[in-house]
Amino acid sequence: MKPRIAHGVQSLPSSGIRRFFDLVATLDDVISLGVGEPDFVTPWRIREAAIYSLEHGFTQYTSNAGLPALRTAIARMLAQTYGVEYHPESEVLVTVGVSEALDLALRAILNPGDEVLIPEPCYVSYRPCTTLAGGIPVGVPTLAEESFRVRAERLAAAITPRTRALMLNYPNNPTGASLRRANLQAIADLAEQHDLIVLSDEIYADLSYAAPHICLASLPGMRDRTLLLNGFSKAYAMTGWRVGYACGPADLIGAMTKIHQYTMLCASMPSQQAALEALRNGQGDRDEMVAQYSERRRLFVRYLNEIGLPCHEPDGAFYAFPSIGSTGLSSEAFAEQLLREERVAVVPGNAFGAVGEGYVRCSYAASLADLLEAVARMERFVRRHAASPARTAVTATSQ
């Protein structure tokens, strides 16, 4: 029998997190710091806008690029917040989450064999989506001792004549690291010098605690080589609504729209109506959620450091990425044993790239009570598994 699955899909690794979450589902009394989504329900006014739109019979397709009012609201918000101007008609595309925007962007720009620089640890979809689009993912490490910030020198060292694009994500999933103006300027200079397109996944932009978010496209010269990807999932607690957007120069957005119109047609009407309400009147609700994440971050990161899981201060998003070196366990062993012994779910760092080995991702999008209980359980676990110096040394040399 001929193989039924395409080679590219056959060879695609399954998500490293899936096996782990299958196990979580079989256990009781688990505190999950594993999932990458807000613990809040979408603010009521946003839900109500969707209900209203359904009641009034808005049940049709929208235009391929998205509701004109939503595209206008997105462009207005970006101009006001970051000073970046996009034409709603030709430079804004509403998508089914940032997930679709990412897929469209890669498919629109890559020719077979083109290389995409991907700073790691990174969001789990970047490598597979690059491969599915015919590209070659090239991992570039970010390091704890550099606060996991992307460094232009490291990117430069990975550039070849086949390098076509750079995938950026800040604030970052899983490290929480963001980028300051000097970092961004150095990256922008590199992109300019090597004529790279930058896919800038800024989905956690509104969840920036340490310093205000700087939009890459706002740097001189970058608007025309940047595809800004953002959405509503994180800032407005709207993961299940599946709505996001891409903004960029008209040629790139036009190419993405071509694929989108044949594959997705449009994002769902009620979700777009809800997203419009989020932009029009949802800022207060968003800011309240952000204030809570900020408070949880402060406490949770301090406690992780105190119990022997050293953790840099995350700039944004809702993840802490502590080192588990003190236990001598691999990331997977740590996550699995912590789950079995103490019923706390975290994600092994190597799910986000090989450089994530030695770390775990803990989401603090959980109630303070759960976070405090999780820390108490983790402390017991870390004490029990404190590696003897000899054992640490053996582990270190065997990796």
Note the residues at the interface with ligand PMP (CB under 6 A). Answer: 36, 97-99, 123, 169, 173, 201, 203, 231, 233, 239, 244
Q: How far is the CB of 57 from ligand PMP (least distance, A)?
A: 27
In the bound state, the residue with its beta carbon closest to ligand PMP is 97
Residue 320 token pair: 């802490």
Report the Cα 51 to chain-centroid distance in Å.
29
Closest CB to ligand PMP among residues 125, 326: 125
Closest CB to ligand PMP among residues 275, 329: 275
Closest CB to ligand PMP among residues 88, 244: 244
Closest CB to ligand PMP among residues 148, 381: 148
- Report helix angle 269-281 to 68-82, nearest 10: 30
Q: How far is the CB of 119 from ligand PMP (least distance, A)?
A: 12
Closest CB to ligand PMP among residues 71, 385: 71
Q: What's the CA gap between 95 and 11, in Å, rounded?
A: 28
Q: How many CB atoms lie within 10 A of CB 345?
A: 23
Q: How far is the CB of 160 from ligand PMP (least distance, A)?
A: 25
Whether omega before 171 lies within 30 degrees of 0, making that bond cis, reads: yes
Q: How far is the CB of 391 from ligand PMP (least distance, A)?
A: 34
Q: What's the CA gap between 200 and 170, in Å, rounded?
A: 8
Q: How far is the CB of 377 from ligand PMP (least distance, A)?
A: 25
Q: How far is CA 224 from each of CA 160, 199, 216, 245, 251, rounded to the nearest angstrom?
A: 22, 12, 11, 17, 10
For residues 356-370, one letter each, b for 16 or more C-beta atoms within 10 angstroms of the residue's C-beta and e for the rest, the string is bbbbbbbbbbbeeeb
Q: Where are the beta strands (DSSP E) in the chain?
A: 31-32, 92-95, 115-120, 136-141, 163-169, 197-201, 226-231, 244-247, 319-320, 344-345, 347-348, 360-363
Q: How far is the CB of 355 from ligand PMP (least distance, A)?
A: 16
Closest CB to ligand PMP among residues 243, 329: 243
